[in-house]
């Protein structure tokens, strides 16, 4: 699903995809999936406020090979 969504973003001309995720153990699989797709930590965006319960990740789409 993630690969599909990133493909849609590319075809629509997006250069970057950013996300906010939780920091608790329940979010570990989601964080690992995003990391495996090339997402890296970044600062807050779009009005999100940083807390101990969230983290932010981003992916430059030009940096990821198309599948």
pLDDT for res 53: 94
pLDDT for res 63: 56
pLDDT in tens, the chain (67 residues): 999 999 999 999 999 999 999 999 999 999 999 999 999 999 999 999 999 999 999 999 985 555 5
Tell me the two tokens of residue 13.
């001309």
pLDDT for res 62: 80
Give me the number of domains the chain comprises.
1
CATH code where residue 26 lies: 3.40.630.30
Residue 10 burial class via C-beta count within 10 angstroms: exposed 0-12, middle 13-18, buried 19 and up? middle
State the Rg of the chain over Cα: 12
pLDDT for res 67: 53
- The whole domain housing 45 covers 2-63
* DSSP characters over 42-67: ----TT----TTEEEEEEEGGGS---
pLDDT for res 48: 92
Residue 16 · residue 58 · CB < 8 Å: yes
Measured CA to CA, the distance from residue 61 to residue 40 in angstroms comes to 12
């Amino acid at each position: 699903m993630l690969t599909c969504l990133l493909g849609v973003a590319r075809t629509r001309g997006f250069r970057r995809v950013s996300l906010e995720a939780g920091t608790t153990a329940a979010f570990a699989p989601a964080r690992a999936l995003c990391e495996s797709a090339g997402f890296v930590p970044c600062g807050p965006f779009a009005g999100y406020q940083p807390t101990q319960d969230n983290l932010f990740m981003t992916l430059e789409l030009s940096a990821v090979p198309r599948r």
